[in-house]
Copies of this chain bind each other. A is one copy, B any other.
Amino acid sequence: MSGPTLSDVADAAGVSYATADRVINKRGNVAQKSIDKVRDAVTRLGYVRNVAAANLSRRRVYRLAFLIPTGSNAFFNRVRDHIVQSANHLSADSISVEIVDVSAFSVEALQNSIGDLADLDFDGVAIVGLQSRLLEHPLAELRARGVAIIGLVSDLPTNFRSAYIGIDNRVAGRTAARMTGIAHAGRVGAIQTFAGSMDARDHAERLQGFRDVITADFPALTVLDPILTKDDPAVLYEAACGALQAGSSVTAVYNVGAGNVGLIKAISKTSGTRPFCVVHELVAHSKQALIDNHINLVIDQRPDVEVNRAFALLRALIDDRAMPPMPDLMPTIYVRDNLPADTLNTVMKAQTT
Contact = CB atoms under 8 A, between A and B. Distances in A.
Interface of A: 1-3, 48, 50-53, 55-56, 59, 61, 82, 85-86, 89-94, 96, 171-172, 174-175, 177-179, 182-185, 187, 209, 213, 276, 296, 302, 304-305, 308, 321-322, 324-328, 330-342
A175 B338 contact: yes
21 contacts: A2-B94, A51-B92, A52-B53, A52-B55, A82-B325, A86-B324, A89-B322, A175-B337, A177-B337, A178-B337, A179-B335, A182-B182, A182-B335, A304-B326, A304-B327, A305-B327, A308-B326, A332-B333, A333-B333, A333-B335, A333-B338
Contacts of A89: 322, 324-325
B342 A327 contact: no
A304 B330 CA distance: 13
A11 to B, nearest CB: 20
Nearest to A312: B89
Given A2-B94, A174-B338, A175-B337, A86 B325 contact: yes
Nearest to A326: B308
B59 A2 contact: yes
Contacts of A305: 327
Closest 9 CB pairs of A and B: A174-B337, A52-B52, A185-B185, A89-B324, A333-B333, A175-B338, A328-B340, A85-B325, A178-B335
Nearest to A87: B325
B335 A175 contact: yes
Contacts of A2: 59, 61, 94
Contacts of A322: 89
Nearest to A81: B325
Residue picked from A85, A89, A322, most chain B C-beta under 10 Å: A89
Contacts of A59: 2
A209 B336 CA distance: 13
Contacts of A174: 337-338
Given A185-B183, A325-B85, A325-B304, A340 B335 contact: no
Contact of A338 (B296, B308, B321, B330): B330
A52 B56 contact: yes
Nearest to A63: B1
Contacts of A90: 324
Residue picked from A59, A85, A86, A337, most chain B C-beta under 10 Å: A337
Contacts of A96: 1
A190 B53 CA distance: 63
A183 B171 CA distance: 21
Nearest to A83: B325
Given A52-B53, A174-B338, 13 more contacts: A1-B94, A1-B96, A48-B92, A51-B92, A82-B325, A175-B338, A178-B335, A179-B182, A185-B185, A213-B337, A330-B334, A330-B338, A332-B333
